[in-house]
Amino acid sequence: MSEERLYPGVGPDERTTFDAYSAFDVPADLRELHGRYDVESTARRVRNFRYAQEWMMMIGGGWVATIPELPVKTGLGKIVWDDAKSADELGHRLPELRCGKRSVTTSEPANEGFAAVIQEVAEPERPDLTIEKITGMFDVLKPHLLAVYDRMQRETDQISDAPTIEILDDIMRRTRKHIAWGDEVLERLCDTDGKRERRRIRANELRAQLEACGGVTGEIADESPRVH
């Protein structure tokens, strides 16, 4: 009996005896190559996402001093840090997408319309406008981003663009928590019909503006779920 070969030789009879499957096949890799976005369009989308995350961080930071409800103030403190981490992770993806070493801090709105949406989200300032503040960011903007991130995850090349998928995984996990927190805050704050109406009006106005500009990437209709 010939000795088992641990390494292949140069002749056809010099193959190893290992079975022809690898750990990658257990379970079977059902992913397919080719996604909806090429390197350039993924890079552009990542810059768009980073723009939204960076501005949410800055807006949250600005609001902390203008919100009288203590648990909302402290809750926002954590969310500001989460949004900063999200923007940072997206930024670190950019050089990997052929955007150059310095691109790690690049943010870019898809269009002027989306930049205007961000400024509109930031607009409420007075301490009696916590409902408008939280509605804008947590009922409209974050659910919209979650929907777009989810779609990006599903439609991008599952193997080639896996690093973007991993980053979005983390951001989506945090974003879901933020949306749940915002909803809890708003449920508590909106304890009259009048306040619930303020929430509804604010959400509808912002959502219309978001849809008109094509959302964070400027390309797609708002996929965020309707609120109450």
Partner 1 sequence: MKRFIQHEELARDSRFIRQQNVLTTVLATLPDEVDAVVETFDKFGPMIEESSRGTAAEPLFEKFGPAFALVTLNEPIVAGQEGVEDRLKMRMHGIFVGEMQALEGAGRSLWDFPDAPWDFKMNMARQCWDEARHVQIYEKLMEHVGAQAGDYPESTFLFECACSDDPAMRVAGVNRGLEGLACDVFRDLIRYADATGDETMKQAVDYVLADELTHVRFGSEWVKEFTKDDKDHFERTQEFRREVDKQFSFGGSRSDREDAAIRIAWQDRLEAGFTEEELRELAEISSGGPSQKTMLAAAKILQERHLARRAAAAQDGEARS
Number of helices and strands in the chain (H, E) = 7, 0
Q: Which residue lies nearer to partner 1 by CB, 147 or 206?
A: 206
Q: Shortest gap between Cβ of 91 and partner 1 (angstroms)?
A: 7
Q: Which residue lies nearer to partner 1 by CB, 16 or 105?
A: 105
Q: Shortest gap between Cβ of 210 and partner 1 (angstroms)?
A: 19
- Asked if residues 134 and 75 have their Cβ atoms less than 8 Å apart, the reply is no
Question: What SS3 state is found at 1?
Answer: coil
Q: Shortest gap between Cβ of 88 and partner 1 (angstroms)?
A: 6
- Asked if residues 46 and 92 have their Cβ atoms less than 8 Å apart, the reply is no
- Asked if residues 165 and 153 have their Cβ atoms less than 8 Å apart, the reply is yes
User: What is the CB-side half-sphere exposure of residue 161 using CA atoms within 13 A?
Assistant: 28
Q: Shortest gap between Cβ of 97 and partner 1 (angstroms)?
A: 18
Q: Shortest gap between Cβ of 77 and partner 1 (angstroms)?
A: 3
Q: Which residue lies nearer to partner 1 by CB, 110 or 129?
A: 129
Q: Where are the beta strands (DSSP E) in the chain?
A: none
Q: Count Cβ atoms below 10 Å from residue 32 Cβ, excluding itself.
A: 9
Q: Which residue lies nearer to partner 1 by CB, 42 or 106?
A: 106
Q: Which residue lies nearer to partner 1 by CB, 82 or 161?
A: 82
Q: Shortest gap between Cβ of 53 and partner 1 (angstroms)?
A: 11
Q: Which residue lies nearer to partner 1 by CB, 52 or 76?
A: 76
What is the Cα–Cα distance from 115 to 52, expressed in whole angstroms? 9
- Binding site residues, partner 1, CB under 8 A: 54, 57-70, 73-78, 80-81, 83-84, 88, 91, 104-105, 122-125, 127
What does the DSSP assignment read for 123-177? ---STT-HHHHHIIIIIIIHHHHHHHHHHHHHHS-TTTTHHHHHHHHHHHHHHHH
